[in-house]
């Protein structure tokens, strides 16, 4: 196991042996009697847990291609590629919440969970994006009727904001970096939806990374492309 993998999976255990759980709801699998959930890693990115009544498998998720990489020993005869692919698909786009640890899965695919209230202050990340009003604002605004966070709805709205913003037009005219423009758009919309105060740069970085990890791809890919296109037109 590489040092990076060890660091990434430290989110699973705190000093007292309790489990930090910033994760999705556990979803029922069809390809096997079991459940799966995705969780946020303290080192960045996401992990995937698949549980049956008798076995459990943990994966890290590759940020580049979204594929699940086994963490530790995983029995491939039990956790086949079909099961893993289904778990990835069912958890993709689900919003993170602060939830208790899944302790047991039963034959009818329901589970026991610990109380999230067992968590101590030491368990909480230094930047708690999931508990913020800005995160809640995005989740409420862009969650579809199936309970999944919609990247399509989010990007469409952010692109609309970019097209109507005088500040964005000025940034493009002054040839500002595309990343800076994207950060301005996300920051402005998050503050607007939460009716909150200005975000710090550090919090904004964690905010963007959280949404990226929910889908293991760039959450703002379409917005990025839109900004690049606007910058390209401005150069002509």
In sequence order, the 6+-apart residues with CB closer than 8 A to the CB of 127 are: 202, 203, 206
Predicted confidence (pLDDT) at residue 7 exceeds the cutoff of 60: no
Q: Do 80 and 133 contact (CB within 8 A), yes or no?
A: no
Q: What pLDDT score was predicted for residue 8?
A: 39
Predicted confidence (pLDDT) at residue 233 exceeds the cutoff of 90: no
CA–CA separation, 39 and 36 (whole Å): 10
207: which 2 tokens?
A: 């905010």
Q: What pLDDT score was predicted for residue 149?
A: 83
Choose between 176 and 74: higher pLDDT.
Answer: 74
CA–CA separation, 208 and 213 (whole Å): 9
Predicted confidence (pLDDT) at residue 37 exceeds the cutoff of 90: yes
Predicted confidence (pLDDT) at residue 198 exceeds the cutoff of 60: yes
The string of pLDDT tens digits covering residues 133-186 is: 999 999 999 988 887 788 999 999 999 999 999 999 999 988 888 899 999 999
pTM: 0.75
């Amino acid at each position: 196991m590489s040092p990076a993998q060890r660091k990434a999976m430290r989110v699973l255990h705190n000093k007292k042996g309790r489990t930090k759980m910033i994760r999705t709801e556990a979803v029922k699998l069809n390809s096997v009697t079991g459940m799966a959930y995705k969780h946020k890693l303290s080192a960045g990115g996401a992990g995937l847990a698949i549980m049956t009544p008798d076995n459990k498998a943990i994966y890290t998720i590759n940020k580049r291609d979204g594929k699940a990489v086994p963490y530790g020993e995983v029995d491939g005869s039990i956790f086949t590629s079909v099961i893993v692919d289904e778990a990835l698909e069912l958890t993709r786009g689900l919003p993170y919440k602060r939830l208790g640890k899944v302790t047991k899965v039963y034959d009818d695919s329901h589970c026991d969970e610990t109380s999230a209230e067992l968590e101590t202050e030491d368990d909480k990340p230094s930047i708690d994006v999931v508990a913020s009003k800005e995160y809640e604002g995005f989740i409420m605004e862009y969650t579809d009727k199936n309970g999944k966070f919609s990247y399509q709805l989010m990007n469409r709205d952010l692109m609309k904001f970019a097209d109507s913003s005088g500040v964005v037009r000025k940034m493009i005219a002054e040839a500002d970096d595309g990343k800076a423009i994207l950060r301005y758009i996300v920051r402005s919309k998050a503050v607007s939806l939460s009716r909150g105060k200005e975000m710090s740069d550090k919090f904004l970085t964690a905010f963007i990374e959280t949404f990226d990890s929910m889908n293991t791809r760039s959450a703002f890919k379409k917005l990025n492309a839109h900004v690049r296109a606007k910058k390209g037109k401005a150069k002509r």
